[in-house]
Amino acid sequence: MLPFDHNRDSPGLRPLSSGRWRGESGFSLIEVLVVVIIIGILAAIALPSFLSQRRSGQDAAAMSNARSLATHVESCRASTGVFTACDTLADLGGAVELGLPWGSTAGTVEVLTAADDAYEIVAHSVSGNDFTYELDGAGTLDRTCDPPSSGACRSNGRW
């Protein structure tokens, strides 16, 4: 009798003749590599699309903030008569009343300039784009963005 009995009752040991051909299953290295390569190709295709959508979403939030601040400024002017009394956070009722991120850094919005009958609002997107919402003295609205052809900013610099 051999020192080790190779039977079913001995854990961890198996006869040398057993192997993949006797019902054991698994994946070969080639099969695993093919799957990894396919996943890599799919990721390479999807990642740029995902990043583009993320940037567009950040720009959409900035444009929405610019329009919301314009509504607040217009409402303030209705009670004060001039836009110059509506160009600071305090003039607009403070941060809680305004409900918008105020400032000049990424993800914020601000009134850049104000005159009696005109104002300029700039929304700074997290993506790095700036969106300007400007009403001139004649009542003409102009919406521009910088840099053109980036994110939600069209090639003509408008939004």
Q: Would you give the DSSP letter of residue 113? A: E
The pair of structure tokens assigned to 85 is 């009394």
Q: Is 45 contained in some domain?
A: no
Q: Is residue 93, in this structure, part of any structural domain at all?
A: yes
Alpha carbon of residue 93 to chain centroid: 29
Domain that holds residue 140: 62-159
Per-residue pLDDT of the chain (159 residues; tens, 9 = 90+): 555 555 555 555 555 555 555 666 889 999 999 999 999 999 999 998 888 898 999 999 999 999 999 999 999 999 999 999 999 999 999 999 999 999 999 999 999 999 999 999 999 999 999 999 999 999 999 999 999 999 899 999 999
Q: Does residue 66 fall inside a structural domain? A: yes
Give the separation between CA 118 and CA 138, rounded to whole angstroms. Answer: 8
